[in-house]
Chains A and B, each alone.
Chain A
Amino acid sequence: EVQLLESGGGLVQPGGSLRLSCAASGFTFSSYAMSWVRQAPGKGLEWVSAISGSGDSTYYADSVKGRFTISRDNSKNTLYLQLNSLRAEDTAVYYCAIISGGSYSNYYFDYWGQGTLVTVSS
């Protein structure tokens, strides 16, 4: 059974940093591209970042480019998102998701974790 378990969320002050983790199991982790998608309280879904199976290719939404860094450790079956220079508008539930669809322009999200809440507030 595919399982994605996010962790690392919490309360952080504006300008602060946080590292999110997503522990994967039930599938061959290194064979799949992975992504982070967030959802602000009461709002819609916003794609944040994606990474290829090997970790060689990374992609970011303009809203987080230069502040967030996606990475993965295939030996630990774990996906990461480093969040720096956090702003109030980054407050959201952050979901990790398995990507299908082949190329970047065909990406869709096959399985989702339950999410971890990041709150940016003083």
Chain B
Amino acid sequence: QSVLTQPPSVSGAPGQRVTISCTGSSSNIGAGYDVHWYQQLPGTAPKLLIYANTNRPSGVPDRFSGSKSGTSASLAITGLQAADEADYYCQSYDSSLSGVVFGGGTKLTVL
């Protein structure tokens, strides 16, 4: 059971918009700790997608955006493409565990 809860799967048609939620608690996201997002394409290492809630590293398309409110965060992907099919993970810090925590991951399927 992950400290940060993500839906196991989401799907959307090409061109559509999808969102992936990441729900935490008062000891992590709700305590004000930043949320970061990673994309893991099949058979590859994870790649940083969003850092500090809303920031995109150089080279990440602006189709990807992050937001945070209260004890939750969200990743939005617009203009869905087949190449976006991957697993997505949120990550934060938990003060009760005194450690870095990941969500369980969400598999995005492009229909």
The distance from the CB of A59 to the nearest CB of chain B, in whole angstroms, is: 7
Interface members, chain B 84-101 (any A CB < 8 Å): 87, 89, 91, 93, 95, 97, 99-101
Binary per-residue interface labels of chain A (96-117) against chain B in the complex, 1 for a CB within 8 Å, 0 otherwise: 0000110011111111111100
Contact with B along A48-74 (1 / 0, CB 8 A): 001000000001111000000000000
- Chain B residue with the shortest CB-CB distance to A107: B100
Query: Are A61 and B99 also in contact (CB < 8 A) when A106-B33, A107-B93 are?
Result: yes
Q: Mark B93-111, 1 if CB is under 8 A from A, else 0.
A: 1010101111111000000
A105, A108, A113: which contacts B48 (Cβ < 8 A)? A108
CA distance A4 to B69 in the complex (A): 34
Interface residue A47 (Cβ < 8 Å from any Cβ of B): yes
Q: How far does the Cβ of B49 sit from chain A's closest Cβ, in whole Å?
A: 10
Verify if B12 is at the interface (C-beta below 8 Å from A): no
Contact with A along B40-67 (1 / 0, CB 8 A): 1000111110011000010000000000
B24–chain A nearest beta-carbon distance, Å: 14
Q: Which B residues are within 8 Å of any A CB, using their own CB?
A: 2, 33-34, 36, 38, 40, 44-48, 51-52, 57, 87, 89, 91, 93, 95, 97, 99-105
Q: What's the Cα separation between A109 and B49 when bound, in Å?
A: 10
Q: Which of B33, B45, B101, B103 contacts A113 (CB under 8 A)? A: B45
Which residues of A have CB within 8 Å of B93?
104-107
B51 touches A44 (CB 8 A): no
Could you list 11 further interchain pairs (A-B, Cβ under 8 angstroms) beyond the known A50-B100, A106-B52?
A35-B100, A44-B2, A44-B104, A45-B89, A47-B101, A95-B46, A108-B34, A109-B38, A109-B46, A110-B48, A113-B45
| Contact among B34, B52, B57, B105 for A44, CB-based, below 8 A | B105
Question: Do A108 and B45 touch (CB < 8 A)?
Answer: no
